[in-house]
Copies of this chain bind each other. A is one copy, B any other.
Amino acid sequence: MQPPYLLFLGDVHDQLAAKTAHGIKDWRPEHCFGQLRLEGCVADLGLREATIAEARAAGCGTMIIAVANSGGTLAPHWAPYVIEALEAGMDVASGLHQRLVDFPEILAAAEKSGRQLFDVRHPKQRFKTGTGVKRTGKRLLMVGTDCSCGKKYSALAIEKEMRARGLPATFRGTGQTGVMISGGGVAIDAVVADFIAGAAEWLSPDNDPDHWDIVEGQGSLFHPAFAGVTIGLIHGTQPDGLVLCHEPTRTHMRALKHQPLPGLKECLEANLRAARLTNKDVKAVGVSVDSHNVPASEREDVLKRIADELGLPAVDPMIDGPGAIVDRLW
Contact = CB atoms under 8 A, between A and B. Distances in A.
Nearest to A197: B225
Contact of A229 (B228, B230, B277): B228
A281 to B, nearest CB: 15
Interface string A205-244: 0000000000000000110111111111001100000000
A94 interface: no
Contact of A190 (B193, B230, B235, B236): B193
Nearest to A189: B194
Given A132-B258, A133-B258, A228-B228, A222 B192 contact: no
Interface of A: 129-133, 188-194, 196-198, 221-222, 224-232, 235-236, 256, 258-259, 270, 273-274, 277-278
26 contacts: A129-B225, A130-B226, A131-B224, A131-B256, A132-B256, A132-B259, A133-B258, A189-B193, A190-B193, A191-B192, A191-B193, A193-B193, A193-B229, A194-B226, A196-B228, A196-B229, A197-B226, A197-B227, A224-B236, A224-B278, A227-B232, A227-B235, A228-B229, A228-B230, A228-B235, A231-B231
